[in-house]
Amino acid sequence: MRPEADEHHPYYAKYIALVPQAMPVPALQEQMDEILPFLRSIGEEKGGHRYAPGKWTVKQMLQHVIDGERVFAYRALRAARGDRTPLPGFDENAYAAQTDASHRTIQALADELELVRRANLAMFSAMNEEELRRRTIANEQEFSVRALAYIIAGHARHHAIVLRERYLA
């Protein structure tokens, strides 16, 4: 079942809206089957490309998607386990500034994203309905596990769209 508006910060509604599936685990699986071949088709010569000055490179964006998936999955794990200890937000620009994706290949980044997604699929697949409804606090906002699964899928889809439309057009 799709998350309700009170299960996440309003900012994330745009990501959730990008996920057409009615259930989170099939959404994550189908998306992996869609996005990974696309990412693996990007030529290495595009890895350092920025669509505008000051924007991330293709490789930095891929690293950001991986980092975001890990952060959102950690939040989901905490919520599923009943941990409501408030978590701070995460500053994606600070994360990007502290990692050097330039030395990595696009293939290696796609492989890492696949491994992270497979681990998250195993985690979400093992959860029952009660666990998916549980909530935690992050960035002073309540999030359900279910919403976090949709945010993971929508966030990756958002960046795949940006790659297609702004970087590779």
The Cα 32–Cα 6 span in angstroms is 27
> Among 149, 158, 124, 160, which Cα is nearest to 36's?
160
Number of domains present in the structure of the chain: 1
Which CATH number characterizes residue 155's domain? 1.20.120.450
Domain of residue 63: give its range.
5-167
pTM over 0.85? The answer is: yes
Contact 102, 56 (CB under 8 A): no
Over the chain, what is the mean pLDDT? Answer: 96
pLDDT digits (tens, 9 = 90+) for 122-165: 999 999 999 999 999 999 999 999 999 999 999 999 999 999 99
